[in-house]
Structure 1
Amino acid sequence: MIVEGRLKTVSSQLSPQVWPDQATALGSQRFGVLSIHAVHNQTDAFTDAVQRSRIILSHWMSTTLTSTDSNSLMQALLIGRSDALDTEMWHRLKRLGIAHVVVVSGLHIGLIALFSWTLLSLPRKFFRLPSDTGSIALHCVVSIAVSGGYALLSGWQLPAQRATMMVGALLLTRWGGLSVGSMTVLALIALIVLGIDLFSALSASFWLTFGVTATILWLLTLTKGMTPVVRLLLIQSGAAIAGGIASAFFFGELSLASVITNLVAVPIITSWCLPVGLLSVIAELSALPGATWLLTTAALPLPFFLELLTKLDGLTSPTLFRAHSPHWGTLIIAVLTIVAINSRRTVRMTALLLLVLVGLRLDSADDLSYRFAVIDIGQGTALVLTSAQTTMVFDLGGWVHPERSQATKILIPYLSSEGRGTIDHLLVSHGDADHSAGLSDLRDRFSIQNAHGFGGRRCRPGQRQWLDAYVEIVFLSGSGQSINQPNADSCTVILMVFDTRILIPGDIGSAQERETVAYWNEKQLTTDNLLASHHGSKTSSSATWLHRTSPTFVIYSAALQNRFGHPHPEVTERVDRWALSSFNTARSGTVTFTIDARGISAINTMRTTSSPYWLALDY
């Protein structure tokens, strides 16, 4: 296949509690994003045959399974077609923390190899032929062939490639009679992968694949002597929990509901649907009788599974769904705990770890201080003001892609990591997608006490409202609810935090800036922090506006190399001529101001001169 297009840089978003986009791209060997102009098919016969098989199987499943949801789940599970899942189903699986169960990964490849080995070993449980010398050659060859074929049918993605390589190396080592432990072989394979591509250590798939495989190997040893059924369930559950925790660390949050659903979903999906479904695929491709019956049988538990998901998803218990965003402190504590368990001074080490854990959970900020964060939300705006007791959100950012908002990717994990279950005040400046795309996602996850602007009450110029005893919101202009002129009608406010003033103008242009200047006197508009109007567009941040507001800091909220050219060079030159300090989230990542009664006491940016070189920006 020959593809023509324009190559652009990968996303460089850098925000707290979210794995950096640049690290993810490097770990996945993605060095750019291609805007495709033309595609010319030029594939080899083998690739064509695999693709034709996947298309035939997809059509066969669609005509065999009458339930749309069951069909989409089986297609995702057996041939790697996660795109068959509709948006509602995908969001439900993600919310319950089990999306990784239906996305083919090292978990599935490893379990398929285990099932193949177990199936071939069954005859020896009941009888042995006189000529049977106990050879495992057939077991190894078939297990490698079945797991490799499954990886090909599922799309031959990078996690499946790594898992197939691991399964092959482990089984060939055993076949060869080498006295090397499975964990040692796994570690050697990991070193080989890192030797080929060191940046693979930055990818979630690396840790998911090797972590899940290591868990399976450890449980295989731990459960020796148990009955096959119990052993299989323990291995599956352990692997699923390990995968769920790793997925939560890299991609989002972990909740009690996700642990429960993993324990329920994994035995259903991996003990029945996956192996029986794969047998049906083999039968269909081999033109053997019974393929349709096997597929229907494989899908039998799915209505129960889907009904269970619906009931769990309908629960609103905060205990079940309170999200916990893992962070580096969590990882360090987990590693040190393992070290402590294997230490001769376990009691002393454990006591020390408990003290560290308590220290990490304490809020280090003064109760009388606030953090104002300009979130690196890409091409859009999202601001958060928090104290020990108060949370205010201003704008929500845009879309990552049509089915995922920046709020889901960045803002919700940020708020969850702060332990926020309630938003005291939400203000959406206007209805443009780069400011309001995640509104429904935020409402699904948090209790919102007050809302103004788009999706809430009209903003009324001149209105004043206290967020708490130390923060006042002054509405300057716009209602935030216009459909015809959303930018011009942006809800513009000043936040007064103690004596520190923050002016947030939404996407107003120079005309609205002049109107605001004419209405409000200089003392009322003077500010410490100014968010650049309309992301620093050419039609905003006029000289009159900068003169009247007299900011100490100007912050641009924009994406790197965005198609609009924000912030415009004329605006940045104007700001520089005024000798104003400025920050751009595209280059600095999330910018956080710590504010107390004395003023702005600290400024922190996610990207600094000490950041790892793979997070640096050289353009």
Structure 2
Amino acid sequence: MRMVALGFLAGVCLLQTRSTLDAGPAAAGIALACVLLGALFGASARGWAGRYAVAACVVAMACATGFAWAAQRAEWRMADALAHTLEGQDISVAGRITGLPQPLAGGWRFVFEPDAAPEGVPARIQLSWYENRRAPNPLPALQAGERWHFVVRLRPPHGFANPHGFDYEGWLLERAIRATGYVRADAELLDAAPGGVMQWVHRQRGVVRERILAALPEGEHAGVLAALAVGDQRAIAEADWTVFRNTGIGHLVAVSGLHVSLVGLLCGGLCSLAWRRAPGLALRLPVHKARALAALAGASAYALLAGLGLPVLRAWLMLAVAVLALLSGRRLAASRVLAAALLVVLVADPWAVLSAGFWMSFAAVAIILAVLGGRVRPPSGWRAALRVQLAISFALAPALLALFQSFPLVSPLANLVAIPAVSFVIAPLVLLALIVPVDGLFVLAHGATVIMMDVVRPLAELEHALWEQARPPPWLIAAGALAVAMLLLPRATPGRLAAPALLAGLALWAPPRPEPGAFVARTLDVGQGLAVHVQTHRHDMLFDAGPAYGMSADAGRRVILPYLRAHGVAALDLLVLSHDDIDHVGGASSLLEATSVGTVLAGPHDADARWGAAWAAQAGAAGAAWRCQRGQAWEWDGVRFEVLHPGGEVALAGSSRHDNDNSCVLRVLGPGGALLLTGDIGRNAEAQLIALEREGLESDVVLSPHHGSRSSSSQAFVAATSPEHVIHSAGRRNAFGHPHPEVLARWAQAGTRNWRTDSQGAVTAAFPARGGERVSIRAERTERTRYWHGR
């Protein structure tokens, strides 16, 4: 069973790394061949050789079966796609809201299941509905299960594609959401009553959430209680998330195996107390079986209340397998039960391997089995709890570095406080308040949460509370996992002393940087905006900080900071803000608040309120802030940086501080080539640059001015720069039509290759350290494509 489960897992993982779905029949054929070969070897071969041959065939069969099953499930799901003819068109749909609608700033986001729609509309879509500023009436309060008629505009799933970035398209695929869009007009409520059992459940979840928030109008941690009660984490404050991340206790507010098991243990314990006092019942059904059934029933009820989302469903399936194994009456090893649970989860959800929670959950259970199992005298009581917590905090370090590029060093101390507080005080009070309609219980639970946060917050604020480093390569992660496994083995295990050396190599690993004279420029996929990371041998510069994504999100926090952390960039030597348009400075405030910046070089404008305070704080504490103007130049590691525009006192006629023509233009020049960063300049600024620079504009790679706008990239500018590559940073189907087809054609006619972030993801240009070598350039969606990307 264990080898079969691991083989099936390997097959599923292999499928989820493919760029196409054309090998499913071949995998099914391989599985059948393995069955025949296994039968042949089993009938003819004898001894250890025959047994190993049969085992190898069984594992290969399991791998091929997992691959074929995942491929078939993917084919079914990918077939439910938005028709290309409907993309961007007004579509009339009617259907029901499923799940909990999420309130946004000035609107709602929710999953919608159409029951009356044109052919080509997927069965599940995600919609956003924003207030019309011109309309006097606010949006209605949406509830799960309501049936509405909408006019919507849809598009296929699309997310940013950056190195080690979040795969939004894969996240939507796992949840069977095959299109996203927004409500245009003509919204009409058709039926307020829920249309099914799960919709009624989601309605009750919404009622519970509102009850908690109403009972704690001033509660700073009310969102934590809502997360524990109904699995809704959207109301948790950003400050709380920072504490959870730095201390490693975020798993306590994400409903998962811990909470489902806790409820199951509580219900099973209560049932056991009652069952033992009824001899007639105990004679009909043994106490341990009644306890298991009660645990499964209680956990099922809680899983429903939490919305039966994918993490909760995985935890419930694991518990259900364990209960069925107990009810079977057979004495099964815990590792076999875990393997059976793994198989059930993968059959139900082949995309589970894309989730960090899947790996963390099974790894945690395996660590617990390794710590407590196979011992002559296994630890018990508080010693067992302490040993398990220390082992989990230590053993999950390689996985945390691989998935999140960080590891909370204070996690053991924080969890020693938080796990008992949540498990024995906060969560029971919340669950009791759901049964007993006394809001005072929520107040008590919130008070206990305040005390817990007051204890763990100082740990989160320690200087080295969180170990952060670049994402290690897969081979080093595997070596770290092997080292952890060796350390969990008994003390006399051979080779155990080599494990600390492997872990030290994992913790001290640093990504390679360009050699002196070389540099790498990566244009990040941030949507309709610009952010370019330029890295030399020992220095890092960011040119622009991307756009804002509404009132509560921006490219700095969502894209740039995770990217820098994954690449081991702890501080920026220079942040250049070409001008004050929101698509170029929208993420600056988040960057300046979260990371150290040596110098800020900004375009000719005043300190904007969106990022001015953070800029001033950084300028006083970490470096200086300067205005960008022609003539500024410096050299890093054999690479020269030159500001070409705007001029000192003379700005272009008729320009203002909002004028794109006064954007900062920067040229980066090394022995192996030149890069030109142009901001949002238009044709007037291009003409001025040509007049002043003449021969100094030639570059190997150019960032197209103003995202490829029709008002930029004049014929004269294209000829003066004469690059081999031009990169257009723009959002998919943006409202401005960037990059314009005429601009793309103009660059192509000059012999320049067009690259664009909206369809190709982040674009990386590597400039060599020596002349005579060509600049290499690649796109993220080409390097790391998956079968669901762009579909």
Common fold by TM > 0.5: yes
Tell me which residue corresponds to 1:178.
330
Tell me which residue corresponds to 1:464.
632
Deviation at 1:584, TM superposition (A): 1.9
The answer to whether the aligner puts 1:265 opposite 2:433 as a matched pair is: no
Distance 1:320 1:253 in 2: 10
Deviates more, 1:181-190 or 1:211-220: 211-220
Distance 2:518 2:239 in 1: 40
Query: Which whole-Å deviations, capped at 9, do the CAs of 1:172-192 have from their partners, x for residues lacking one?
Result: 221221333343233333333
Tell me the SS of whatever aligns to 1:506.
coil
Query: Which whole-Å deviations, capped at 9, do the CAs of 1:21-73 have from their partners, x for residues lacking one?
Result: 33333334333323234475563353454345334433443454475123232
Tell me which residue corresponds to 1:277.
430
Query: Which one of the candidate residues 472, 483, 489 is aligned to 1:337?
Result: 483
Q: Which amino acid aligns with 2:434?
A: V
Deviates more, 1:583-592 or 1:243-252: 243-252
Query: Which whole-Å deviations, capped at 9, do the CAs of 1:474-528 have from their partners, x for residues lacking one?
Result: 222249999862533322211223463211111222232223323x222222222
Tell me the SS of whatever aligns to 2:521.
strand
Tell me the SS of whatever aligns to 2:406.
coil
Distance 2:395 2:304 in 1: 25
Distance 1:57 1:490 in 2: 51
Q: Which amino acid aligns with 1:16?
A: P
8 A Cα contact 1:372 1:592, kept in partner: yes
Tell me which residue corresponds to 2:343.
191
The TM-score, its normalising length taken from structure 2, stands at 0.68
8 A Cα contact 1:368 1:596, kept in partner: yes
Q: Which amino acid aligns with 2:406?
A: E
The answer to whether the aligner puts 1:382 opposite 2:520 as a matched pair is: no
Say which structure, 1 or 2, has more relative contact order (CA 8 Å, 6+ apart). Answer: 1
Distance 2:323 2:536 in 1: 55
Query: Which whole-Å deviations, capped at 9, do the CAs of 1:346-383 have from their partners, x for residues lacking one?
Result: 36985995797599546364344322222223332111
The answer to whether the aligner puts 1:431 opposite 2:580 as a matched pair is: yes
The answer to whether the aligner puts 1:157 opposite 2:299 as a matched pair is: no
Tell me which residue corresponds to 2:682.
509
Tell me which residue corresponds to 1:287.
none
What RMSD, in angstroms, separates the aligned Cα atoms of the two structures?
3.8
Deviation at 1:531, TM superposition (A): 0.4
Query: Which whole-Å deviations, capped at 9, do the CAs of 1:390-426 have from their partners, x for residues lacking one?
Result: 1111112224564333222332233223333221111
Deviation at 1:541, TM superposition (A): 1.4
The TM-score, its normalising length taken from structure 1, stands at 0.85
Matches within 5 A, 1:279-358: 279-284=432-437, 291-292=438-439, 294-315=441-462, 317=463, 319-329=464-474, 330-337=476-483, 346=495
Tell me which residue corresponds to 1:494.
667
Tell me which residue corresponds to 2:748.
576
Deviates more, 1:566-575 or 1:599-608: 599-608
Deviates more, 1:442-451 or 1:108-117: 108-117
Q: Which amino acid aligns with 2:674?
A: R
Tell me the SS of whatever aligns to 1:424.
strand
Distance 1:94 1:426 in 2: 26
Matches within 5 A, 1:43-82: 43-44=194-195, 46-47=197-198, 49-65=200-216, 67-82=218-233
8 A Cα contact 1:371 1:385, kept in partner: yes
Distance 1:180 1:397 in 2: 55
Tell me which residue corresponds to 2:593.
444
- CA distance 1:364–1:324, shift in 2 (3 Å): closer
Tell me which residue corresponds to 2:61.
none
8 A Cα contact 1:17 1:325, kept in partner: no
Deviates more, 1:608-617 or 1:272-281: 608-617
Distance 1:479 1:79 in 2: 58
- CA distance 1:608–1:529, shift in 2 (3 Å): same
Tell me the SS of whatever aligns to 2:234.
helix
The answer to whether the aligner puts 1:84 opposite 2:231 as a matched pair is: no
Deviation at 1:194, TM superposition (A): 2.8
Tell me which residue corresponds to 2:320.
168
Structure 2 alignment gaps of length 5 or more: 1-95, 97-112, 115-149, 604-611, 616-624
Distance 1:358 1:156 in 2: 37
Tell me which residue corresponds to 2:406.
253
The answer to whether the aligner puts 1:422 opposite 2:571 as a matched pair is: yes
Deviation at 1:578, TM superposition (A): 0.6
Q: Which amino acid aligns with 2:640?
A: E
Deviates more, 1:396-405 or 1:349-358: 349-358
8 A Cα contact 1:526 1:548, kept in partner: yes
The answer to whether the aligner puts 1:539 opposite 2:711 as a matched pair is: yes
Distance 1:487 1:534 in 2: 8
Larger radius of gyration: 2
Aligned residues: 607
8 A Cα contact 1:528 1:551, kept in partner: yes
Structure 1 alignment gaps of length 5 or more: 285-290
8 A Cα contact 1:531 1:556, kept in partner: yes
Distance 2:419 2:656 in 1: 47
Q: Which amino acid aligns with 1:154?
A: A
- CA distance 1:469–1:72, shift in 2 (3 Å): closer
Tell me which residue corresponds to 1:521.
693
8 A Cα contact 1:588 1:606, kept in partner: yes
Distance 2:198 2:153 in 1: 26
Tell me the SS of whatever aligns to 2:225.
helix
Deviation at 1:572, TM superposition (A): 1.0
Query: Which whole-Å deviations, capped at 9, do the CAs of 1:285-335 have from their partners, x for residues lacking one?
Result: xxxxxx4554444334222223235434544x2x33452344443532234
Distance 2:456 2:205 in 1: 28
Tell me the SS of whatever aligns to 2:662.
coil
Tell me the SS of whatever aligns to 1:404.
coil
- CA distance 1:368–1:98, shift in 2 (3 Å): farther
Distance 2:640 2:493 in 1: 56
8 A Cα contact 1:532 1:556, kept in partner: yes
Q: Which amino acid aligns with 2:580?
A: G
Deviation at 1:121, TM superposition (A): 5.3
Tell me which residue corresponds to 1:288.
none
Distance 1:58 1:244 in 2: 34
Percent of residue pairs bearing the same amino acid type: 26
